Structure 1
Amino acid sequence: MKGTNKDYEKMEELYELYEQKIYFVAFSILNNIQQAEDVVQETFITIYQQLEKVCSLKTQELKRYILRISKNKAIDSYRKNKRHGLFLEEYQREAVEVVNENIGAWEQYSMSEAQIDTLLTTLKDSYRQVFKYRIFYNLTYKEISELMGMSEVNVRKQFERARKQVLDVIGGTQNDELKELKKNG
Protein backbone atom coordinates (compact mmCIF):
# COMPACT_ATOMS: atom_id res chain seq x y z
CA MET A 1 0.00 0.00 0.00
CA LYS A 2 1.48 3.28 -1.09
CA GLY A 3 1.10 6.01 1.51
CA THR A 4 0.13 9.56 0.58
CA ASN A 5 0.31 12.72 2.67
CA LYS A 6 -3.44 12.42 3.19
CA ASP A 7 -2.96 8.89 4.58
CA TYR A 8 -0.29 10.07 6.99
CA GLU A 9 -2.42 13.00 8.12
CA LYS A 10 -5.35 10.65 8.74
CA MET A 11 -3.12 8.25 10.70
CA GLU A 12 -1.77 11.14 12.81
CA GLU A 13 -5.31 12.27 13.52
CA LEU A 14 -6.39 8.75 14.49
CA TYR A 15 -3.31 8.35 16.67
CA GLU A 16 -4.05 11.57 18.52
CA LEU A 17 -7.66 10.55 19.09
CA TYR A 18 -7.30 6.87 19.98
CA GLU A 19 -3.79 6.07 21.21
CA GLN A 20 -4.64 6.51 24.91
CA LYS A 21 -7.95 4.66 24.60
CA ILE A 22 -6.27 1.72 22.85
CA TYR A 23 -3.54 1.65 25.48
CA PHE A 24 -6.13 1.65 28.28
CA VAL A 25 -8.02 -1.28 26.72
CA ALA A 26 -4.82 -3.27 26.18
CA PHE A 27 -3.42 -2.56 29.64
CA SER A 28 -6.70 -3.50 31.32
CA ILE A 29 -6.48 -6.94 29.68
CA LEU A 30 -2.72 -7.56 29.85
CA ASN A 31 -1.70 -5.61 32.95
CA ASN A 32 1.74 -5.13 31.34
CA ILE A 33 3.07 -1.80 30.07
CA GLN A 34 5.31 -3.14 27.27
CA GLN A 35 2.71 -5.56 25.96
CA ALA A 36 0.04 -2.86 26.03
CA GLU A 37 2.35 -0.58 24.03
CA ASP A 38 2.92 -3.43 21.55
CA VAL A 39 -0.85 -3.80 21.17
CA VAL A 40 -1.14 -0.06 20.44
CA GLN A 41 1.48 -0.43 17.70
CA GLU A 42 -0.11 -3.57 16.24
CA THR A 43 -3.52 -1.90 16.25
CA PHE A 44 -2.26 1.09 14.29
CA ILE A 45 -0.52 -1.20 11.80
CA THR A 46 -3.85 -2.96 11.23
CA ILE A 47 -5.64 0.38 10.94
CA TYR A 48 -3.12 1.55 8.34
CA GLN A 49 -3.56 -1.67 6.36
CA GLN A 50 -7.34 -1.09 6.36
CA LEU A 51 -7.23 2.69 6.02
CA GLU A 52 -9.77 2.86 3.17
CA LYS A 53 -12.33 0.94 5.23
CA VAL A 54 -11.52 3.01 8.34
CA CYS A 55 -11.98 6.30 6.46
CA SER A 56 -15.45 5.24 5.29
CA LEU A 57 -16.77 4.65 8.84
CA LYS A 58 -18.74 7.20 10.83
CA THR A 59 -17.24 8.48 14.10
CA GLN A 60 -19.05 6.10 16.49
CA GLU A 61 -18.55 3.11 14.19
CA LEU A 62 -14.89 4.05 13.84
CA LYS A 63 -14.37 4.22 17.60
CA ARG A 64 -16.04 0.82 18.13
CA TYR A 65 -14.08 -0.69 15.25
CA ILE A 66 -10.70 0.56 16.49
CA LEU A 67 -11.36 -0.46 20.08
CA ARG A 68 -12.53 -3.90 18.93
CA ILE A 69 -9.26 -4.34 17.00
CA SER A 70 -7.24 -3.39 20.08
CA LYS A 71 -9.29 -5.64 22.36
CA ASN A 72 -8.81 -8.61 20.00
CA LYS A 73 -5.07 -7.97 19.73
CA ALA A 74 -4.77 -7.74 23.53
CA ILE A 75 -6.71 -10.98 23.97
CA ASP A 76 -4.46 -12.69 21.41
CA SER A 77 -1.43 -11.47 23.33
CA TYR A 78 -2.95 -12.68 26.61
CA ARG A 79 -3.57 -16.14 25.12
CA LYS A 80 -0.01 -16.25 23.79
CA ASN A 81 1.27 -15.43 27.29
CA LYS A 82 -0.89 -18.21 28.71
CA ARG A 83 0.43 -20.76 26.16
CA HIS A 84 3.98 -19.67 26.90
CA GLY A 85 3.34 -20.15 30.61
CA LEU A 86 2.06 -23.68 30.03
CA PHE A 87 5.14 -24.51 27.94
CA LEU A 88 7.44 -23.16 30.66
CA GLU A 89 5.61 -25.15 33.33
CA GLU A 90 5.93 -28.33 31.24
CA TYR A 91 9.59 -27.58 30.55
CA GLN A 92 10.36 -27.00 34.21
CA ARG A 93 8.50 -30.14 35.30
CA GLU A 94 10.37 -32.36 32.83
CA ALA A 95 13.69 -30.63 33.44
CA VAL A 96 13.46 -31.54 37.13
CA GLU A 97 12.95 -35.19 36.17
CA VAL A 98 15.99 -35.13 33.85
CA VAL A 99 18.38 -33.79 36.47
CA ASN A 100 17.32 -35.26 39.80
CA GLU A 101 20.63 -34.37 41.48
CA ASN A 102 19.88 -30.67 41.46
CA ILE A 103 16.11 -30.25 41.84
CA GLY A 104 16.32 -26.98 43.76
CA ALA A 105 18.28 -25.22 41.01
CA TRP A 106 15.92 -26.48 38.30
CA GLU A 107 12.81 -25.23 40.12
CA GLN A 108 14.29 -21.74 40.08
CA TYR A 109 15.29 -21.93 36.41
CA SER A 110 13.00 -20.39 33.82
CA MET A 111 13.60 -19.64 30.18
CA SER A 112 13.12 -16.40 28.33
CA GLU A 113 11.30 -16.31 25.00
CA ALA A 114 14.64 -15.77 23.21
CA GLN A 115 16.12 -18.84 24.90
CA ILE A 116 13.11 -20.94 23.87
CA ASP A 117 13.42 -19.75 20.25
CA THR A 118 17.16 -20.52 20.26
CA LEU A 119 16.48 -23.94 21.73
CA LEU A 120 13.89 -24.75 19.05
CA THR A 121 16.30 -23.80 16.23
CA THR A 122 18.28 -26.94 17.13
CA LEU A 123 15.35 -29.07 15.88
CA LYS A 124 14.66 -30.23 12.34
CA ASP A 125 11.92 -28.16 10.64
CA SER A 126 9.22 -30.84 10.84
CA TYR A 127 10.12 -31.67 14.47
CA ARG A 128 10.01 -27.98 15.38
CA GLN A 129 6.60 -27.53 13.73
CA VAL A 130 5.12 -30.59 15.44
CA PHE A 131 6.62 -29.48 18.77
CA LYS A 132 5.18 -25.96 18.43
CA TYR A 133 1.72 -27.23 17.45
CA ARG A 134 1.68 -29.63 20.40
CA ILE A 135 3.17 -27.34 23.07
CA PHE A 136 2.20 -23.79 22.07
CA TYR A 137 -1.18 -24.47 20.45
CA ASN A 138 -2.09 -27.56 22.50
CA LEU A 139 -3.25 -29.45 19.39
CA THR A 140 -3.89 -33.18 19.49
CA TYR A 141 -1.76 -35.59 17.46
CA LYS A 142 -4.74 -36.12 15.16
CA GLU A 143 -5.17 -32.35 14.55
CA ILE A 144 -1.45 -31.98 13.85
CA SER A 145 -1.49 -34.94 11.45
CA GLU A 146 -4.34 -33.34 9.48
CA LEU A 147 -2.58 -29.96 9.39
CA MET A 148 0.76 -31.37 8.30
CA GLY A 149 -0.54 -34.14 6.04
CA MET A 150 1.21 -37.01 7.80
CA SER A 151 0.08 -40.01 9.81
CA GLU A 152 -0.82 -39.65 13.46
CA VAL A 153 1.85 -42.24 14.36
CA ASN A 154 4.48 -40.20 12.51
CA VAL A 155 3.40 -37.02 14.30
CA ARG A 156 3.59 -38.76 17.69
CA LYS A 157 7.06 -40.14 16.90
CA GLN A 158 8.33 -36.75 15.68
CA PHE A 159 7.04 -35.08 18.81
CA GLU A 160 8.73 -37.65 21.06
CA ARG A 161 12.01 -37.22 19.17
CA ALA A 162 11.75 -33.43 19.34
CA ARG A 163 10.97 -33.58 23.05
CA LYS A 164 13.94 -35.89 23.65
CA GLN A 165 16.25 -33.56 21.68
CA VAL A 166 15.05 -30.56 23.67
CA LEU A 167 15.56 -32.41 26.95
CA ASP A 168 19.00 -33.61 25.81
CA VAL A 169 20.03 -30.04 25.02
CA ILE A 170 18.65 -28.78 28.32
CA GLY A 171 20.05 -31.71 30.27
CA GLY A 172 23.43 -31.46 28.55
CA THR A 173 23.80 -27.80 29.42
CA GLN A 174 22.70 -28.39 33.00
CA ASN A 175 24.96 -31.42 33.42
CA ASP A 176 27.97 -29.43 32.20
CA GLU A 177 27.17 -26.71 34.73
CA LEU A 178 26.79 -29.32 37.48
CA LYS A 179 30.13 -30.94 36.63
CA GLU A 180 31.79 -27.54 36.67
CA LEU A 181 30.18 -26.71 40.03
CA LYS A 182 31.22 -30.06 41.53
CA LYS A 183 34.75 -29.66 40.19
CA ASN A 184 35.05 -26.17 41.66
CA GLY A 185 33.12 -27.06 44.84
Structure 2
Amino acid sequence: MSSANKDYEKMEELYELYEQKVYYVTYSILNNIQQAEDAVQETFITLYQHLEKIGNLNTEEIKRYILRIAKNKAIDSYRKNKRQIILLEEYQKEATVVADKNIEEWEQRLMSEVQIDTLLKTLKESYKQVFKYKVFYDLNYQEISKLMGMTEMNVRKQFERARKRVLTIIGGKPNDEFRRLEKNG
Protein backbone atom coordinates (compact mmCIF):
# COMPACT_ATOMS: atom_id res chain seq x y z
CA MET A 1 0.00 0.00 0.00
CA SER A 2 1.37 3.40 -0.96
CA SER A 3 2.14 6.15 1.52
CA ALA A 4 -0.60 8.36 0.04
CA ASN A 5 -3.20 5.62 0.55
CA LYS A 6 -2.08 5.12 4.16
CA ASP A 7 -2.34 8.86 4.80
CA TYR A 8 -5.79 8.94 3.22
CA GLU A 9 -7.01 6.05 5.36
CA LYS A 10 -5.52 7.58 8.48
CA MET A 11 -7.24 10.93 7.78
CA GLU A 12 -10.51 9.16 7.04
CA GLU A 13 -10.32 7.32 10.35
CA LEU A 14 -9.41 10.50 12.24
CA TYR A 15 -12.33 12.29 10.63
CA GLU A 16 -14.79 9.55 11.57
CA LEU A 17 -13.53 9.43 15.16
CA TYR A 18 -13.23 13.14 15.89
CA GLU A 19 -15.30 15.22 13.48
CA GLN A 20 -18.31 15.53 15.83
CA LYS A 21 -16.13 16.34 18.85
CA VAL A 22 -14.20 18.95 16.87
CA TYR A 23 -17.43 20.48 15.62
CA TYR A 24 -18.81 20.63 19.17
CA VAL A 25 -15.69 22.46 20.41
CA THR A 26 -15.63 24.95 17.54
CA TYR A 27 -19.36 25.64 17.70
CA SER A 28 -19.23 26.19 21.47
CA ILE A 29 -16.69 28.97 20.89
CA LEU A 30 -18.10 30.55 17.73
CA ASN A 31 -21.87 30.01 18.07
CA ASN A 32 -22.11 30.05 14.29
CA ILE A 33 -22.68 26.93 12.19
CA GLN A 34 -20.76 28.02 9.09
CA GLN A 35 -17.81 29.39 11.02
CA ALA A 36 -17.69 26.25 13.16
CA GLU A 37 -17.70 24.10 10.00
CA ASP A 38 -14.88 26.22 8.58
CA ALA A 39 -12.89 25.75 11.80
CA VAL A 40 -13.48 21.97 11.58
CA GLN A 41 -12.13 21.99 8.03
CA GLU A 42 -9.09 24.05 9.06
CA THR A 43 -8.48 21.66 11.97
CA PHE A 44 -8.36 18.65 9.67
CA ILE A 45 -6.14 20.47 7.16
CA THR A 46 -3.71 21.20 10.00
CA LEU A 47 -3.91 17.55 11.11
CA TYR A 48 -3.09 16.40 7.59
CA GLN A 49 -0.07 18.72 7.53
CA HIS A 50 1.17 17.15 10.80
CA LEU A 51 0.05 13.59 10.16
CA GLU A 52 3.48 12.14 10.95
CA LYS A 53 3.07 13.24 14.61
CA ILE A 54 0.02 11.06 15.06
CA GLY A 55 0.75 7.45 15.98
CA ASN A 56 -1.98 5.33 17.58
CA LEU A 57 -5.31 6.87 16.57
CA ASN A 58 -7.47 6.27 19.60
CA THR A 59 -5.46 7.59 22.53
CA GLU A 60 -6.30 10.38 24.97
CA GLU A 61 -3.15 12.24 23.95
CA ILE A 62 -4.21 12.38 20.31
CA LYS A 63 -7.73 13.40 21.30
CA ARG A 64 -6.34 16.30 23.39
CA TYR A 65 -4.00 17.25 20.54
CA ILE A 66 -6.82 17.36 17.98
CA LEU A 67 -9.24 19.22 20.26
CA ARG A 68 -6.53 21.76 21.15
CA ILE A 69 -6.00 22.43 17.43
CA ALA A 70 -9.78 22.81 17.01
CA LYS A 71 -10.00 25.16 19.96
CA ASN A 72 -7.12 27.28 18.62
CA LYS A 73 -8.68 27.44 15.15
CA ALA A 74 -12.02 28.53 16.64
CA ILE A 75 -10.36 31.16 18.83
CA ASP A 76 -8.44 32.50 15.83
CA SER A 77 -11.70 32.75 13.91
CA TYR A 78 -13.40 34.45 16.88
CA ARG A 79 -10.59 37.02 17.12
CA LYS A 80 -10.75 37.63 13.39
CA ASN A 81 -14.52 38.24 13.67
CA LYS A 82 -13.93 40.64 16.53
CA ARG A 83 -11.32 42.57 14.52
CA GLN A 84 -13.73 42.80 11.59
CA ILE A 85 -16.48 44.15 13.86
CA ILE A 86 -14.08 46.74 15.30
CA LEU A 87 -12.94 47.74 11.81
CA LEU A 88 -16.58 48.06 10.70
CA GLU A 89 -17.42 50.21 13.73
CA GLU A 90 -14.37 52.41 13.06
CA TYR A 91 -15.37 52.75 9.41
CA GLN A 92 -18.92 53.74 10.40
CA LYS A 93 -17.61 56.34 12.87
CA GLU A 94 -15.23 57.69 10.25
CA ALA A 95 -18.00 57.84 7.65
CA THR A 96 -20.17 59.82 10.08
CA VAL A 97 -17.31 62.24 10.79
CA VAL A 98 -16.75 62.71 7.05
CA ALA A 99 -20.48 63.23 6.50
CA ASP A 100 -20.64 65.77 9.33
CA LYS A 101 -17.59 67.53 7.90
CA ASN A 102 -19.25 67.70 4.47
CA ILE A 103 -22.39 69.20 6.00
CA GLU A 104 -20.30 71.72 7.96
CA GLU A 105 -18.46 72.73 4.78
CA TRP A 106 -21.80 73.02 3.05
CA GLU A 107 -23.11 75.23 5.88
CA GLN A 108 -20.04 77.43 5.62
CA ARG A 109 -20.93 78.28 2.02
CA LEU A 110 -23.59 80.56 3.54
CA MET A 111 -26.48 79.36 1.44
CA SER A 112 -29.61 81.41 1.45
CA GLU A 113 -32.95 80.07 2.70
CA VAL A 114 -34.14 79.93 -0.92
CA GLN A 115 -31.18 77.78 -1.97
CA ILE A 116 -31.67 75.53 1.04
CA ASP A 117 -35.38 75.13 0.32
CA THR A 118 -34.54 74.29 -3.30
CA LEU A 119 -32.11 71.61 -2.13
CA LEU A 120 -34.49 70.22 0.46
CA LYS A 121 -37.45 69.99 -1.97
CA THR A 122 -36.65 66.34 -2.49
CA LEU A 123 -37.23 65.61 1.20
CA LYS A 124 -40.50 64.88 2.97
CA GLU A 125 -41.75 67.89 4.93
CA SER A 126 -41.00 66.38 8.35
CA TYR A 127 -37.47 65.38 7.22
CA LYS A 128 -36.92 68.91 5.96
CA GLN A 129 -38.01 70.39 9.31
CA VAL A 130 -35.87 68.00 11.36
CA PHE A 131 -32.87 68.74 9.14
CA LYS A 132 -33.32 72.51 9.44
CA TYR A 133 -33.77 72.39 13.22
CA LYS A 134 -30.68 70.23 13.66
CA VAL A 135 -28.30 71.83 11.18
CA PHE A 136 -29.33 75.48 11.06
CA TYR A 137 -30.82 76.09 14.51
CA ASP A 138 -28.43 73.71 16.31
CA LEU A 139 -31.18 72.04 18.32
CA ASN A 140 -30.56 68.64 19.90
CA TYR A 141 -32.74 65.59 19.22
CA GLN A 142 -34.68 66.03 22.45
CA GLU A 143 -35.56 69.66 21.67
CA ILE A 144 -36.62 68.77 18.13
CA SER A 145 -38.68 65.89 19.51
CA LYS A 146 -40.63 68.23 21.78
CA LEU A 147 -41.07 70.85 19.05
CA MET A 148 -42.38 68.40 16.47
CA GLY A 149 -44.31 66.11 18.84
CA MET A 150 -42.53 62.90 17.85
CA THR A 151 -40.24 60.44 19.60
CA GLU A 152 -36.55 61.20 19.89
CA MET A 153 -35.78 57.96 18.01
CA ASN A 154 -38.02 59.03 15.14
CA VAL A 155 -36.28 62.43 15.02
CA ARG A 156 -32.85 60.71 14.87
CA LYS A 157 -33.99 58.39 12.07
CA GLN A 158 -35.52 61.23 10.05
CA PHE A 159 -32.38 63.33 10.44
CA GLU A 160 -30.19 60.43 9.29
CA ARG A 161 -32.35 59.85 6.23
CA ALA A 162 -32.42 63.56 5.42
CA ARG A 163 -28.68 63.83 5.89
CA LYS A 164 -28.03 60.87 3.58
CA ARG A 165 -30.24 62.39 0.90
CA VAL A 166 -28.59 65.82 1.22
CA LEU A 167 -25.12 64.25 1.09
CA THR A 168 -26.11 62.35 -2.03
CA ILE A 169 -27.21 65.58 -3.65
CA ILE A 170 -24.23 67.71 -2.61
CA GLY A 171 -21.69 64.89 -2.88
CA GLY A 172 -20.69 65.20 -6.52
CA LYS A 173 -21.53 68.46 -8.21
CA PRO A 174 -23.62 70.67 -5.92
CA ASN A 175 -23.95 73.51 -8.43
CA ASP A 176 -25.30 71.28 -11.21
CA GLU A 177 -27.72 69.68 -8.77
CA PHE A 178 -28.97 73.11 -7.67
CA ARG A 179 -29.58 74.13 -11.26
CA ARG A 180 -31.50 70.93 -11.94
CA LEU A 181 -33.58 71.34 -8.78
CA GLU A 182 -34.31 74.99 -9.54
CA LYS A 183 -35.48 74.13 -13.09
CA ASN A 184 -37.80 71.42 -11.71
CA GLY A 185 -39.13 73.73 -8.97
TM class by shorter chain equals 0.5 to 0.7
| Seq. identity, % | 62
Letter in structure 1 aligned against 2:99? V
RMSD over aligned CA atoms reads: 3.7
Distance 2:16 2:71 in 1: 18
Deviations 1:130-178 (A, max 9, x none): xxxxxxxxxxxxxxxxxxxxxxxxxxxxxxxxxxxxxxxxx99x935x9
Against the structure 1 CA distance between its residues 46 and 3, is the aligned structure 2 distance closer, same or farther, given a 3 Å change threshold? Answer: farther
How many residue pairs were aligned?
119
**Deviations 1:39-95, CA, capped at 9 Å, x for gaps:** 000000000000010225761100000000000110011111111111111110010
How high is the TM-score relative to the length of structure 1? Answer: 0.54
Rg larger in structure: 2
Q: CA deviation at 1:3?
A: 5.8
Does the residue aligned with 1:19 lie in a helix, a strand or coil? helix
1:89–1:29 Cα change, 3 Å: same
d(CA) in 1 for partners of 2:63 and 2:85?
Answer: 33
What is residue 50 of structure 1 aligned with on the other side?
50
Aligned equivalents of 2:80, 2:19: Cα separation in 1: 23
Q: Which residue is 1:152 aligned to?
A: none
Q: How do 1:22-101 and structure 2 match up within 5 A?
A: 22-55=22-55, 59-100=59-100, 101=103
Q: Deviations over 1:2-26 (max 9, x none)?
A: 9610100010000011111111100
Q: Cα distance 1:57–1:8, how it changes in 2: closer, same or farther (>3 A)?
A: closer
Scaled by the length of structure 2, what TM-score is found? 0.54
Taking a change above 3 Å as real, the CA distance of residues 74 and 3 of structure 1, as seen in their structure-2 partners, is farther
Q: Give runs of aligned pairs for residues 29-178 of structure 1, distance below 5 A.
A: 29-55=29-55, 59-100=59-100, 101=103, 104=160, 175=171
Instruction: Give the unaligned 5+ runs of structure 2.
Output: 104-157
Letter paired with 1:88: L
- Structure 1's consecutive aligned runs of 4 or more residues displaced over 4 angstroms after TM superposition are 181-185
Is the Cα–Cα contact under 8 Å of residues 39 and 74 in structure 2 kept in the other structure?
A: yes
Mind listing any 5+ residue stretches in structure 1 that lack a counterpart? 109-170
Change (3 A) 1:71 1:94: same
Question: Residues of 1 paired with 2:55 and 2:15: CA distance?
Answer: 14
